[in-house]
A and B are shown apart, each in its own frame.
Chain A
């Protein structure tokens, strides 16, 4: 113990640097030769450092607390400042002479809003100014019409619920007694539809330029330059490619293409269907991520049209509208800060007119930047005179600031600018037609340093906030994997339906049928039903419904009552083709006899074309 205490004290003395030079040398020598002593020393050092850590941690924590407190105090200070500024501006507004004096609150940094943005990209899309206007209008309408559709649907649901619940018990009993799944379509029939479906129109497209084409039946497609990638390798495809377009406006085309207008269990009314495909020398292509084909359908007059995309299944094509996904696309609608209806609100700038809000926000950002921007960074770099920093950032639908970009003469300065902007609190997002939208905001800061700026204006570009970009890319991915729906319109003044798709394949311009009529179950029995497909065409609207086949029964599910419809049955056996059609009104499980007559393919097509006028 004696020796141990002696050694401990010695080590302490060494660590505390209280030994004489000579003693120190002896000590160090001993460390080299005496391994036991060395271990003792190491242990003691470790323990002392461990104890030190305890003290340090306490100190660091205290520092952190005071930093956090300071930060809050600053925020409080800033918001008080902002309130003061807005009060000053507000009162000045009424004296008409406003601005320029208050703008120079800070003599070091001044901000100017840069008010030119997004519209360029829209212009690129469509050059014809008339159509441009239409497209913008559509964008604007998206929000309202979606709301409207939702309301309608919910009303319909309420109305239907009763009917449905009454029917449900019946359905259950029926299902139990039948215990069968619908039969898949007979192979002969499938082959028949495949063989006779409409042939696509093949359009050569030069991918180097934006391309607009009016197809045979009047669909207008606008394809941006460099929009196609190889479906397998995802590599950009250049040069001439073939775009295959099949337009379905006519009832006969839809019927012979085995197309119906149903989204899962909901009835749709169509404003035209399209099948788009693209290839280059037989290699399948797909749309590049984020690219959209603008399309204008050649039909008009119905409100609340939406874009659906189709998935082929056993029975034909099922249409899907995915609301959540659509929202994410809508989020992609970016509105220019200069034109947005309600500008994003900086916390503290509420209850002002748009222009005052802009002003208030400018001032607030100005103030934050002038407070937070570490001038010494610029000074330490030896920069002199006036330094320009251009910053832009997005304010997303939720009011978050992200995707900050900065341009300055030095990377460090741009970095600092990005850091400062990331300090900005959450905004109240800007709104367009009552819906929060994303905006891009850009500003120019000038820092005034001593001396004169003699450097040539080199510019370094800093892009920041990786995370935000990742989120953004993920969103793009999810858009691509979605079924490519892109917007809704409801505007009597827009004669035709215009949309943009991010995906090739089946595309349908539809709306949900919101009938408030009572619904009834509708089933048909047909003798010798093999190879038969039965569809129902609604005279009052452009809607075709499929039926599910259960042995000799064809089930249409629930239909609105008292609708003028045409039941169309096509039957294909090995070598013969039959057609039956019957005009009638929908009622509960009608007693219906279909008279099949043998037809040739030409006759069938003719018969179907005769129905086109009633569609």
Chain B
């Protein structure tokens, strides 16, 4: 499938299909990571991260894909892997081209979200479900209260704020420990 068609899939909200197409590129990315000393599991993680970054960028209105999906994912994967290994030297960073700089920024930005994801996963099962239902499935509090057997819509709503607050707290402390 051509890149153009995959892009259309993304645009038309057929993200799953697009991901499936893009997975055809995975063996080559896996090769890259293996050649850099990573394991297959590493390669899997890296490629997943690269797809998330790609997806995030595609959702941005000001982003256009200047190269092929393969080239893009390849360089993102390279950066993700290097970042995972903490292998950036200052000199290297200075030598980056503008395209690479933006990829590098993407990778760093994504790192924040990874922490947030971790924080979220530390929440109790019920909190996780509640937040996912609200934010991902965009369910109304009314429905959520029904499904999750809250006594009222309001309690569900209150509970959601508490869960969110909890996630934020965990996130803040992890960020602090990372930065220090």
Which residues of chain A are within 8 angstroms of B22 by Cβ–Cβ distance?
63
Interface residue? A8 (CB, 8 A): yes
Q: Does B46 make an interface contact (CB < 8 A)?
A: no
Contacts A43-B172, A60-B48, A60-B51 given; indicate if A49 touches B116 (C-beta within 8 A).
yes
Contact yes or no, A59 B161, CB < 8 A: no
Contact B23 A57 (CB under 8 A): no
Contact among A43, A63, A68, A374 for B171, CB-based, below 8 A? A43
How far apart are the CA atoms of A56 and B18 in the complex, in Å?
13
Q: Output the nearest chain B residue to A64 by Cβ-Cβ distance.
A: B23
Q: Does A53 belong to the interface (CB within 8 Å)?
A: yes
CB <8 Å contact, A50 and B20: no
Q: Give Cα A49–Cα B113 distance, bound, in whole angstroms.
A: 6
User: Is A47's CB under 8 angstroms from B116's CB?
Assistant: yes
Q: Which residues of A contact B112 (CB under 8 A)?
A: 46, 49
Q: Which residues of B contact A380 (CB under 8 A)?
A: 2
Asked if B164 is an interface residue, CB under 8 A from chain A, the answer is yes
B171 lies within 8 A of A46 (CB): yes
**Inside 8 A of B117's CB, which chain A residues have their CB?**
50-51, 53-54
In angstroms, Cα B116 to Cα A419, docked, is 38
Q: Mark A454-483, 1 if CB is under 8 A from B, else 0.
A: 000000000000110000000000000000
With A50-B115, A57-B48 as contacts: A43 and B168 at CB distance below 8 Å: yes
A5 close to B132 (CB less than 8 A): no
A52 partner residues in chain B, CB cutoff 8 A: 113, 135-136
Residues of B within 8 A of A57 (CB): 48, 52
Q: Total contacts A to B, CB within 8 angstroms?
A: 102
In the docked arrangement, what's the CA distance between A49 and B31, Å? 29
A61, B45: Cα distance in complex, Å: 11
Give the shortest distance, in Å, between A39 (CB) and chain B (any CB).
Answer: 9
- Identify which of B23, B115, B121, B161 contacts A54 (C-beta below 8 A): B121
User: With contacts A47-B171, A57-B52 known, is A63 near B132, CB below 8 A?
Assistant: no
| Neighbouring A residues of B1 by C-beta, 8 Å | 374, 376
Q: Which of B15, B115, B131 contacts A51 (CB 8 A)?
A: B131
Q: Which one, A4, A53, A59, contacts B113 given CB within 8 A?
A: A53
Residues A46 and B136 in contact, CB atoms below 8 Å apart: no
Tell me the minimal C-beta distance from A372 to chain B in angstroms: 10
Contact B135 A51 (CB under 8 A): yes
Q: Does B29 have its Cβ within 8 Å of any Cβ on chain A?
A: no
Bound-complex Cα distance A1 to B157 (A)? 13
- A62 contacts B16, C-beta separation under 8 Å: yes
Least Cβ–Cβ distance between A518 and chain B, in angstroms = 56
Q: How far, in whole Å, are A422 and B28 apart by their CA atoms in the complex?
A: 10
Q: Say whether B2 contacts A67, CB under 8 Å.
A: no
Contact among A4, A70, A419 for B165, CB-based, below 8 A: A4
Return the chain B residue nearest A53 by Cβ: B117
Judged by a CB distance under 8 angstroms, whether A48 is at the interface is yes
Q: Given the interface contacts A43-B171, A376-B2, A467-B31, does A50 sit within 8 Å of B23 by beta carbon?
A: no
Which chain A residue has the least Cβ–Cβ distance from B119? Answer: A50
User: Do A51 and B132 touch across chains, with their CB atoms under 8 A apart?
Assistant: yes
- Asked if A48 and B28 make an inter-chain contact with CB atoms under 8 angstroms apart, the answer reads no
Interfacial chain B residues near A46, Cβ < 8 Å:
112-113, 115-116, 171
B161 touches A5 (CB 8 A): yes
Q: Complex: how many Å from CA A46 to CA B113?
A: 5
Closest A-chain residue to B116, C-beta based? A50
Tell me if B167 counts as interface (CB < 8 A to partner A).
yes
Contacts of B27 in A (CB 8 A): 422
B 55-93 binary contact with A (CB < 8 Å = 1; else 0): 110000000000000000000000000000000000000
CB distance from A170 to the nearest CB of B (A): 54
**Which residues from chain B contact A422 at a C-beta distance below 8 Å?**
27
Q: Is A451 an interface residue (CB 8 A)?
A: no
A47, A63, A67, most chain B CB atoms within 10 A: A47
Interface presence of A66 (CB below 8 A): yes
16 A-B pairs within 8 Å (CB atoms) are namely A5-B161, A43-B171, A46-B112, A47-B171, A49-B56, A50-B114, A50-B117, A50-B120, A50-B171, A51-B136, A53-B52, A54-B132, A56-B52, A56-B55, A66-B20, A67-B24
- Besides A47-B168, A467-B35, 10 other A-B contacts (C-beta < 8 A): A8-B161, A43-B171, A49-B113, A50-B115, A50-B167, A54-B136, A55-B132, A57-B52, A59-B19, A63-B17
Q: Which residues of A contact B (CB under 8 A)?
A: 1, 4-5, 8, 43-44, 46-57, 59-64, 66-68, 70, 374, 376, 380, 419, 422, 466-467
The 5 closest A-B pairs by CB, nearest first: A50-B116, A63-B19, A67-B23, A50-B117, A46-B116
